Amino acid sequence: MGFHAKHLLGIEQLEQDEIRVLLDLAERYVSLNRGTRKHSSALEGLTQINMFFEASTRTQASFEIAGKRLGADVMNMAMQASSIRKGETLIDTALTLNAMHPDLLVVRHPHSGAVNLLAEKVNCAVLNAGDGRHEHPTQALLDALTIRREKDRLQRLTVAICGDIAHSRVARSNILLLGKMENRVRLVGPPTLMPARIGEFGVEVFDDMREGLAGADVVMMLRLQKERMDGAFIPSAREYYHRWGLDAEKLSHAKDDAIVMHPGPMNRGVEIDGTIADDINRSVIQEQVEMGVAVRMAAMDLLARNLRAAKAGNPERMA
């Protein structure tokens, strides 16, 4: 048992045990973060570079706080002002940064697969902070930690993931993780927003919210990702809300103690009613944000341990 990965590129590469190890360590960081002294020395002496090629508020802030609490030197690259603008390729930028000997590279990129490609070119640990519609592993891990804390388990739960599945890396990583942990996953939304080859995911598919939510333990709403749409995927925001927006009536079909999740940023009144998002008896949206910092601390701590072990076993790499 242990966490053996060199990078955190996706949930796809993780074993059930590795997920458990990471979530258990994250629990310890939840306690640390709730105290007044929030520092540990897990990343002391290490350099973390955050490269976000797509807009982000919570994920970037979360990775930055996580690195600082663990004692790393954290640098945020302002990608809008970078040489990418002057025509440099992603790989050239990565190689340039690599020559400065970072230990952890946190990358968000609009293209699916870009982060995996980059990981092949550098010799530090790479963390995927979201690539296109492919994966967003730390989001699925923070969602898993939130669910495990709320439901006291992470198995045999019925989880309804609702809305814009086709464009969502959050959905993809969650489907993989929840499946690995032996939960029942339902996808609920308009057929135009379901990915192709949905049958291969081992999930149930619904286009009716009431049927899809019936008896669910967890209702996970997704943002309508308009920036990834290049055609008419939905009739209108009003019609979308009417049929697939989460309101009290639709939620009443889920279990009485069902929790409501959303990765943020939310479109209130489009995919979710604002009063439900703010209802502290149902919504765990703020807890998800809190768990995000702890999960990222755990992920970087574990990767740094593997990095140190690899360097100790192979001193050449210290050069």
Binding site for ligand NCD (CB under 6 A): 58-59, 130, 136, 139, 169-170, 223, 225, 263-264
Whichever of 48 and 267 has its CB closer to ligand NCD, that residue is: 267
Minimum Å distance from CB 275 to ligand NCD?
Answer: 21
Minimum Å distance from CB 85 to ligand NCD?
Answer: 22
Spatial CB neighbours of 37, under 8 Å, sequence gap ≥ 6: none
Spatial CB neighbours of 53, under 8 Å, sequence gap ≥ 6: 79, 84, 90, 107, 108, 109, 110, 114
Whichever of 179 and 264 has its CB closer to ligand NCD, that residue is: 264
Whichever of 46 and 219 has its CB closer to ligand NCD, that residue is: 219
Q: How many CB atoms lie within 10 A of CB 11?
A: 26
Closest-by-Cβ residue to ligand NCD is 223
Both tokens of 258, joined, read: 């069902």
Minimum Å distance from CB 154 to ligand NCD?
Answer: 20
- Residue 104: strand, helix, or coil: strand
Q: What distance lies between CA 87 and its chain's CA centroid?
A: 29
Whichever of 31 and 57 has its CB closer to ligand NCD, that residue is: 57
Minimum Å distance from CB 58 to ligand NCD?
Answer: 5
- For residue 158, report the phi and psi dihedrals to the nearest 5 degrees: -100, 115
Q: How many CB atoms lie within 10 A of CB 45?
A: 11
Whichever of 28 and 111 has its CB closer to ligand NCD, that residue is: 111
Residue type at position 177: L
